[in-house]
């Protein structure tokens, strides 16, 4: 938990440092002609949205990185390693952060900074809870309240970053303690051996994400010593990029992933249009030609509309995307059953398919009609002969066998489920 917390913190810190001037989050109140008015100003540019989106993981109670959960875990496990004065200081900051610097009370409802952050987050910024949206609109009808609420929203996010930074510094200190090292020992590989090229006398300084990090994967990671730097930074990185460019996945990534590996808002580029997330709830669709325009647009009531989009992409080459999926499958064998099993001779043909692009005498099955969802899932079995996988990426389902036997073929049931078969040997 702490390691992934730290990894995400570095992303947030990078974006925070790119904000032109954090002090330009201002609330300006004016009195003119007997009337009060207020304007909330924020830095322009994508960095502001990026920062708020990345900070969401620290400020969303259900998230494993929620700062209160991390803080409780840190105190519970390392109470003797954290000075009492540091604990007291952090607790004071949390109390002040929760309440906010300005007390707001409307219709006997006290709106703390934490509560305002939740209202705006669920009332349209991140999610659209209709009841909360209506409540937010009713609050904004009161003069000056709208800009004041938004100012508090941004102030809460900025101040939270300072608190998270303090918690990050404590984690760095605690990591040096004997207790931390006993609870979270460094995972070591007895023999450094790359599961993809079987080399040993090369450098092993990096971790390998089984699924691309830009698909939201921050947990399925192979420790150092399982994948060499040459493969990780070379062919495996290329295969990840190929998978991310597969048009259906590229489109669903924009819909479901809040940010990419670099912390940027996702964007998909097609032959006839680009689709870009400019805000957690906003997509910008730019047509490159007339085939990229909305089709069959219809009004559903209120502010809701439905339309069709026809995406034009590159020619589908099964072998090209199959190598990317087999890379995931072999990595998952190592993650689930260990390095030695992944280096077994039974996977040598798959290894050559992944690393060298050799033909693979089996088929890739893809479900051609899907129901999108925001999860990425893997199911696999190790049989006496064959290692079948089901890889589900946002509802796009792939069936493959990491070995050449038995050969995957369509049957009546798979055909009924709208699967199609694609050979990987050409």
Q: Is residue 61 part of a domain?
A: yes
- Is the previous residue joined to 242 through a cis bond, with omega within 30 degrees of 0? no
Residue at which a domain ends, from 132, 167, 183: 183
**Domain hosting residue 402, numbered range:** 340-423
Neighbour-count burial of 87, counting CB atoms closer than 10 A to its CB (0-12 exposed, 13-18 middle, 19+ buried) = middle
What is the token pair recorded at 102?
Answer: 């300005």
CA distances to 164, 204, 228 from 200, in Å: 39, 9, 8
What is the token pair recorded at 14?
Answer: 């990078």
What is the token pair recorded at 263?
Answer: 């912390």
Q: Is residue 164 part of a domain?
A: yes
Q: Is residue 358 part of a domain?
A: yes
Q: Residue 33: its pLDDT value, please?
A: 65
User: Model-level pTM?
Assistant: 0.86
Q: Is residue 45 part of a domain?
A: yes
Residue at which a domain ends, from 183, 215, 246: 183
Q: Is residue 48 part of a domain?
A: yes
Q: Count Cα neighbours of 92 within 13 Å in the Cβ-side half-sphere.
A: 6
Q: Is residue 290 part of a domain?
A: no
Query: Rounded to an integer, what distance in angstroms lies between the CA atom of residue 29 and that of residue 9?
Result: 34
Residue at which a domain ends, from 183, 212, 237: 183
Q: Give the number of domains in the chain.
A: 2
Q: 53 Cβ partners below 8 Å, 6+ apart?
A: 258, 259, 265, 280
Taking only the tens of pLDDT, the chain with its 426 residues reads 788 899 899 999 988 887 755 557 776 777 666 666 667 677 777 788 999 999 999 999 999 999 999 999 999 999 999 999 999 999 999 999 999 877 788 878 889 999 999 999 999 999 989 899 999 988 887 778 888 898 899 999 999 999 999 999 999 999 999 999 898 887 767 789 999 999 999 999 988 999 998 888 888 899 899 999 999 999 999 999 999 999 999 999 999 999 888 888 999 999 999 999 999 989 999 999 988 888 888 888 777 778 888 888 888 899 999 999 999 999 999 999 999 999 999 999 999 999 999 999 999 999 988 899 999 999 998 888 999 999 999 999 999 999 999 999 999 999 999 999 999 987
Q: Is residue 159 part of a domain?
A: yes
SS3 content of the chain, % helix, strand, coil (to 5): 45, 20, 35
Strands (E), 55-145: 104-106, 109-111
Q: Is residue 204 part of a domain?
A: no
């Amino acid at each position: 938990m702490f390691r992934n917390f730290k990894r995400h913190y570095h992303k947030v810190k990078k974006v925070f440092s790119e904000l032109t001037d954090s002090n330009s989050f201002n609330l300006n109140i004016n009195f003119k002609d007997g009337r009060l008015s207020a304007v909330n100003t924020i830095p322009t540019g994508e960095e502001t949205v990026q920062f708020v989106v990345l900070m969401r993981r620290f400020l969303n109670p259900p998230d494993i990185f929620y700062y209160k959960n991390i803080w409780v875990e840190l105190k519970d496990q390392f109470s003797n390693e954290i000075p009492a004065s540091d604990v007291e200081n952090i607790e004071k900051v949390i109390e002040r952060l929760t309440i906010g610097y300005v007390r707001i009370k409307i219709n006997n409802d006290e709106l703390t900074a934490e509560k305002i952050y939740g209202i705006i987050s669920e009332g349209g910024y991140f999610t659209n809870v209709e009841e909360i949206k209506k409540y937010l609109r009713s609050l904004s009808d009161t003069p000056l309240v709208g800009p004041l609420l938004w100012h508090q929203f941004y102030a809460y996010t900025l101040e939270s970053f300072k608190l998270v930074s303090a918690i990050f510094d404590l984690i760095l200190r605690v990591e040096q303690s004997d207790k931390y090292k006993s609870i979270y020992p460094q995972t070591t590989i007895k023999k450094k051996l790359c599961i993809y090229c079987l080399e040993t006398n090369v450098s092993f300084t990096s971790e390998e994400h089984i699924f691309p990090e830009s698909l939201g994967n921050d947990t399925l990671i192979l420790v150092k010593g399982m994948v060499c730097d040459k493969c990780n930074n070379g062919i495996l990185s290329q295969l990840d990029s190929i998978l991310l460019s597969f048009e259906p996945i590229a489109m669903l990534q924009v819909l479901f992933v809040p940010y990419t590996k670099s912390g940027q808002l996702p964007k998909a580029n097609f032959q006839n249009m680009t689709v870009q997330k400019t805000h957690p709830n906003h997509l910008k669709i730019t047509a490159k030609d007339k085939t990229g325009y909305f089709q069959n647009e219809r009004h559903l009531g209120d502010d809701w509309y439905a339309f069709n989009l026809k995406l034009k992409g590159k020619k589908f080459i099964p072998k090209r995307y199959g190598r990317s999926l087999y890379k995931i499958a072999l990595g998952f064998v190592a993650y689930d059953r260990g390095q030695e099993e992944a280096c077994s001779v039974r996977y040598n043909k798959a290894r050559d398919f992944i690393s060298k692009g050799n033909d693979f005498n089996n088929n890739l099955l893809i479900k051609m009609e899907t129901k999108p969802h925001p999860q990425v899932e893997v199911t696999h079995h190790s049989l006496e002969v064959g290692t079948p996988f089901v890889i589900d990426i946002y509802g796009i389902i792939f069936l493959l066998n990491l070995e050449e036997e038995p050969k995957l073929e369509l049957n009546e049931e798979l055909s009924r489920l709208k699967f199609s078969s694609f050979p990987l040997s050409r």
